[in-house]
Homo-oligomer: A and B are copies of this chain.
Amino acid sequence: MGNKEVTFGVENPGYAQLRQILTLCDSPIKALEIDQQGLKVGSQLKGCDYVCVTPSHQYPTTVTMSVERRKALLEQAQKDDFVVIEDDYESEVNFIEEPLPALKSFDQHGRVIYVGSLSKSLTPGIRIGYLVADKTLVRELRKLRHLHYRHPPSNNQRISALFISQGYYDSHVRRMRRAYADKWLLMQQGINQYLRNCEVHSTEGSFCFWIGLPNGVTSQLLREKATSKGILVESGDTLFMQDDAPDNYIRLGFSAIDSKKILEGLAILGKLIDELS
């Protein structure tokens, strides 16, 4: 990673694997706070060389970064001389309104590295991602990639290129959005009905819901109980950086679950939560 030590800022809670990847650089990693507008700007970003952010749907809270916050983040990047790595996670799944423009689209000074993938929208197995950045950086990254694994397999690049260029990808994403919107509405309905005592973050979309459990209910215990009833719940504790991570958050994914089972499952989960409170 060159000679100068760099500091990475990451969202907290955030994508645990990103933190693991960054440990390969032997660089300091700073936990950054988020609120209902997304990543908080200001003093916490000072001293960061790279700020990693998920503006479309913050992982795991699903919060969408407001336009004002996006602009403020870029202004500070220019003022305090840091680079923003925009992971455009779940940009395709907005069920209420049109998605906001990417951070990169406001980028006047080449401060943003935009990263996306086909893993969520098409399939993770194909291992195709993309990046929008300065030409010089792209050239260097190509060189580095060449030494690591040369290039993504040609057949998958070709398949993806044809699928996109012939318009199938766009219509696939539209169909996917419609299909998941129905499930998402069922989730909203079930959560309002059965998880009344939980703290639910309002969201415009995502394949997941981030839920704060009532006082005294821990995510690990709930996960254990839910598993025995055939309901898989992700505990949120591993997504926090601090040692005393909150133990009362869960992440509920729904994309792979049959619509008919959503309300029934949430009813069982709600009953478990009420029993544990």
> Residues on A close to B: CB < 8 A?
17, 20-21, 24, 125-127, 147-156
Q: Which residues on B sit within 8 Å (CB–CB) of A155?
A: 125-126, 156
Provide the main secondary structure of the chain A interface. helix
Task: Please list the 6 inter-chain residue pairs (A to B) with the smallest Cβ-Cβ separation, ordered nearest first.
Answer: A125-B154, A127-B153, A21-B147, A153-B156, A126-B153, A153-B153
Q: Which residues on B sit within 8 Å (CB–CB) of A148?
A: 148-149
What is the count of identical protomers in the complex? 2
How far does the Cβ of A37 sit from chain B's closest Cβ, in whole Å? 31
Q: Which residues on B sit within 8 Å (CB–CB) of A17?
A: 147
Q: Which residues on B sit within 8 Å (CB–CB) of A153?
A: 125-127, 152-153, 156
Q: Which of B127, B150, B156 contacts A151 (CB 8 A)?
A: B127
Of A126, A147, A153, A156, the most chain B CB neighbours within 10 A belong to: A153
Q: A126-B155, A154-B125, A155-B125 are known contacts. Are A149 and B149 too (CB-CB below 8 A)?
A: yes
A151's closest neighbor in chain B, by CB?
B127
How far does the Cβ of A73 sit from chain B's closest Cβ, in whole Å? 27
